[in-house]
């Protein structure tokens, strides 16, 4: 088989040249080029707001008013709709799930492409076909069950299966692994290998460095809507890639300073969170640990290990159903509501800012003060001046970039949205910060700023509990790491003796003996 990079041997699957696109007076793509050959994984890299999604939406027929030339399979195309793109063999797996929860798996896979004879749906054929597709992905699930009965990770795999069910040759994956566990990621990469062998071309978007270098053949970088360059993965080491993406050199990717550890800030004893109706196993099973002021404790664990539920249990998200005791600065209480936890100095940055972090219908100021509003009101009356001053100061110190503090938060980039959530929690003057995936969907420059902020907060004496699915981030930022598996702690490591292998072993359920 010809090497995918032997560009003369194989004809080009996709060639986009001189692509321009603007929203009103704002140019979001300026003279961008992108091409794709059969059998290659072509990474589209760039910070949030670089124009990646816009380019993908032009390719997918979502935006139809971009200019430039687009050639698919040696044919000049001009997509007028998503259907046009689909029938040209382009399939896009979007970052946000596009599945319809209450419908069954097969209904989702065949949505809009139902097989029927005279208006009667050919259900058995579609169910069988769906089962075959799912088997290709090692997904042993019943296609007749509703999608929302499955975990987010499985749903993501269903989404991918759906996108690949109908012989697409150009496959776009926009951060497909953000909700997947390690084994699922491995499975996905195996599938990508198969697709390459079948002659498909894959456009892959991710913010995870390690992912880029484990699957990339070529990398194209965009920055602020401009085309920076395309290079093979071997010829573009990570330092140079980051430099291309941010336009400057980052002195250090993970700048954890030496901790200033103080007294015990948070002590959790015997925390228990019961299971759900669909999964009766306890989500958190009698977990105890402590964090000192000024310390960052990392909690590792695969999807479903209960680490996120642990943070929510501590914070009182589950109300009275969670059991156990919490001590903050020595004062003991039982976590039964978020309001009570906030008063005692706890803050939880949830892992999904869109679902339960931000109120998109409120502006930046209103979001920033939401958790500390009593401090900015006299009795029942709001004090708008005090409120906007507090928001202004905190967003400035977090280096939030926005046209105006009165703009709705949904117009902000991922990194800046995350900073609004952080502003909200810092304004509550927390003693303990529970950070669940603080850098998810955040571009590299902003990630770096968030690391620096974590350093600053611990220096100010805040105790931090950190969950992140990015192993290098966890290893670099944590002073201590505990590992969870099925709701229980299976290992604890100091910063110095934690390695990726040890953590993964413990996360897979091997108990460290003695």
Positions touching other proteins (CB under 8 A) are 23-26, 315, 317, 338-339, 341-343, 348, 350, 355-362, 366, 370-371, 373-374, 377, 380-382, 403, 424, 428
Residues 480, 487: Cα–Cα separation, whole Å: 19
Minimum distance from residue 63 beta carbon to other proteins (Å): 12
Question: Considering only CA atoms, which of 156, 136, 134 is closest in space to residue 144?
Answer: 134
CA distance 229 to 240: 12
Q: Give the whole-angstrom CA distance, residue 300 versus residue 442.
A: 20
- Name the pairing type of β-strands 323-328 and 264-273: antiparallel
Q: How many CA atoms lie within 13 A of 39 on its CB side?
A: 13
Query: Closest distance between other proteins and the C-beta of residue 342, in Å?
Result: 4
CB 497 within 8 A of CB 485: no
> 16 or 342: whose CB is closer to other proteins?
342
455's CB contacts (< 8 A; 6+ apart) are 255, 256, 257
CB of 61 or CB of 176, closer to other proteins: 61
CB of 378 to other proteins, least distance (A): 10
* CB nearer to other proteins: pick between 412 and 481: 412
Cα of 114 vs its chain's centroid, Å: 32
Distance between CA 267 and CA 291 in Å, rounded? 7
DSSP-derived letter for residue 511 is P
Is 361 or 460 the residue whose CB approaches other proteins more closely? 361
* Residue among 14 and 433 whose Cβ is closer to other proteins: 433
Nearer to other proteins, 245 or 314 (CB): 314
The HSE-up count of residue 71 (CA atoms within 13 Å, CB side) is: 14
Taking the least distance from each CB to other proteins, the nearer of 118 and 381 is 381
- Quick count: other Cβ atoms within 10 Å of Cβ 514? 2
Asked if residue 59 lies in contact with residue 21, where contact means CB atoms within 8 angstroms, the answer is no
Instruction: Pick the closer one to other proteins by CB: 325 or 372.
Output: 372
Least distance to other proteins, CB of residue 443, Å: 22
Tell me the closest approach of the beta carbon of residue 328 to other proteins, in angstroms: 15
Number of residues assigned to the chain: 514
CB 289 within 8 A of CB 298: no
Helical pair 384-397 and 414-426, crossing angle rounded to 10 deg: 120
- How far is 62 from 81, CA to CA, in rounded Å? 6
Q: Taking the complex as a whole, how short is the minimal distance between the CB of residue 42 and other proteins, in angstroms?
A: 31
List, in sequence order, every beta strand (DSSP E) within 120-200.
Answer: 120-121, 170-174
CB of 58 to other proteins, least distance (A): 17
CA distance 405 to 400: 10
3-state DSSP helix/strand/coil % of the chain, to nearest 5:
35, 25, 40
CB of residue 339 vs other proteins: minimum separation in angstroms? 4
Nearest to 170 by CA among 145, 204, 137, 141: 204
Of the two residues 285 and 428, which places its CB atom closer to other proteins in the complex? 428
In whole angstroms, the minimum distance from the beta carbon of 99 to other proteins comes to: 20
Tell me how far, at minimum, the Cβ of 67 lies from other proteins, in Å: 15
User: For 35, how many CA atoms within 13 A lie in the half-sphere containing its CB?
Assistant: 19
Please provide residue 328's backbone torsions phi and psi, each rounded to the nearest 5 degrees: -115, 120
* Closer Cβ to other proteins, 266 or 483, answer by number: 266
Name the minimum Å distance from CB 348 to other proteins.
Answer: 7
Answer whether 67's CB lies under 8 Å from 465's CB: no
Q: Are 391 and 405 in contact (CB under 8 A)?
A: yes
Query: In the complex with other proteins, which residue's Cβ is closer, 93 or 311?
Result: 311
Nearer to other proteins, 24 or 112 (CB): 24
Kindly state the smallest distance separating residue 412's Cβ from other proteins, in Å. 13
**Least distance in angstroms from the C-beta of 367 to other proteins:** 9
CA angle 94, 172, 13 (to 5 degrees): 155
Residue nearer to other proteins on the CB measure, 39 or 335: 335
Residues 514, 509: Cα–Cα separation, whole Å: 15
């Amino acid at each position: 088989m010809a090497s995918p990079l032997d560009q003369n041997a194989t004809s080009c699957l996709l060639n986009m040249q001189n692509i321009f696109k603007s929203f009103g007076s704002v140019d979001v793509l300026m003279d961008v080029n992108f091409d794709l050959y059969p059998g290659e994984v072509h990474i589209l890299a760039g910070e949030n707001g670089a124009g990646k999604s816009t380019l993908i939406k032009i390719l997918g027929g979502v935006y139809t008013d971009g200019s430039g030339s687009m050639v698919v399979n040696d044919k000049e195309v001009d997509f007028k709709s998503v259907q046009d793109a689909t029938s040209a063999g382009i399939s896009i797996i979007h970052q946000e799930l596009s599945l319809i929860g209450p419908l069954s798996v097969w209904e989702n896979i065949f949505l809009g492409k139902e097989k029927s004879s005279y208006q009667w749906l050919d259900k058995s054929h579609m169910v069988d076909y769906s089962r075959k597709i799912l088997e290709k992905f090692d997904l042993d699930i019943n296609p007749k069950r509703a999608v929302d009965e499955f975990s987010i990770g499985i749903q993501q795999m269903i989404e991918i299966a759906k996108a690949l069910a109908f012989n697409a040759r150009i496959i776009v994956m926009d951060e497909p692994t953000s909700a997947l566990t390690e084994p699922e990621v491995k499975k996905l990469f195996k599938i990508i290998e198969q697709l390459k062998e079948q002659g498909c071309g894959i456009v892959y978007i991710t913010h995870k460095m390690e992912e880029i270098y484990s699957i990339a053949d070529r990398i194209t970088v965009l920055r602020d809507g401009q085309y920076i360059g395309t290079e093979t993965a071997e010829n573009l080491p990570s330092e140079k890639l980051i430099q291309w993406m941010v336009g400057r050199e980052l002195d250090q990717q993970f700048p954890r300073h030496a901790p200033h550890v103080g007294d015990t800030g948070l002590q959790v004893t015997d925390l228990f969170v019961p299971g759900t109706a669909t999964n009766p196993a306890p989500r958190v099973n009698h977990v105890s640990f402590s964090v000192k002021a000024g310390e960052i404790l990392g909690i590792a664990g695969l999807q479903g290990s209960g680490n996120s539920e642990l943070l929510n249990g501590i914070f009182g998200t589950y109300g009275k159903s969670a059991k156990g005791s919490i001590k903050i600065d020595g004062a003991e209480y039982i976590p039964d509501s978020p309001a009570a936890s906030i008063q005692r100095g706890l803050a939880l940055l949830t892992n999904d800012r869109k679902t339960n972090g931000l109120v998109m219908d409120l502006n930046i100021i209103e979001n920033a003060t939401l958790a500390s509003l009593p401090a900015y009101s006299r009795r029942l009356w709001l004090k708008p001046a005090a409120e906007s001053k507090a928001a202004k100061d905190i967003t400035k110190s977090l280096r939030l970039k926005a046209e105006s503090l009165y703009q709705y938060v949904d117009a902000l980039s991922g990194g800046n949205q995350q900073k609004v959530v952080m502003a909200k929690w810092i304004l509550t003057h927390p003693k303990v910060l529970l950070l669940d995936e603080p850098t998810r969907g955040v571009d590299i420059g902003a990630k770096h700023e968030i690391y620096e902020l974590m350093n600053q907060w611990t220096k100010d004496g805040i105790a931090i509990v950190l969950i992140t699915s990015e192993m290098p981030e966890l290893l670099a930022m944590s002073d201590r790491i505990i590992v969870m598996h099925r709701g229980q702690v299976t290992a604890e490591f100091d910063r110095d003796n934690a390695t990726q292998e040890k953590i993964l072993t413990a996360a897979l359920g091997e108990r460290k003996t003695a």
